[in-house]
């Protein structure tokens, strides 16, 4: 967890923290360069009770190390790490 995730998880009730992490893991970031997919939580992001279907993030891909526009979409369930 990064510092922001630890801060939020530390101040909200435990059930909310677990819900935030679980839902953040269902949001998948897909690299536009190499196609690598990982959960938003694993990249240090959080998303809870969001209804927007697809967005774009500018982040560095953990696989190809390219910084660029990555697609954020909802998966059916959490990714297995």
pLDDT value of residue 79: 56
pTM: 0.75
For residue 42, give its domain range: 3-74
Q: How many domains does the chain have?
A: 1
Selection from 31, 54, 60, 26 nearest residue 41 by Cα: 26
Does a structural domain hold residue 79?
no
Over residues 57-77, the pLDDT tens digits come to: 788 888 999 888 888 888 765
CA atoms of 36 and 61, how far apart (whole Å): 8
Does a structural domain hold residue 38?
yes
Residue position matching structure tokens 């059916």 = 76
Does the structure show a pLDDT above 80 at 44? yes
Backbone φ, ψ for residue 76 (5° rounding): -70, -35
Does a structural domain hold residue 81?
no
Does a structural domain hold residue 16?
yes
Does a structural domain hold residue 80?
no
């Amino acid at each position: 967890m990064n510092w922001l995730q630890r801060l939020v998880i530390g101040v909200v009730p435990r059930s909310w923290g677990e819900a935030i992490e679980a839902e953040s893991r269902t949001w998948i970031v897909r690299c536009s360069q190499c196609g690598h997919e990982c959960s938003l939580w694993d990249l240090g992001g959080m998303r809870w009770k969001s209804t927007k279907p697809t967005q774009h993030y500018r982040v560095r891909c953990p696989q190809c190390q390219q910084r660029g526009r990555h697609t954020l979409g909802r998966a059916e369930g959490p990714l297995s790490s």
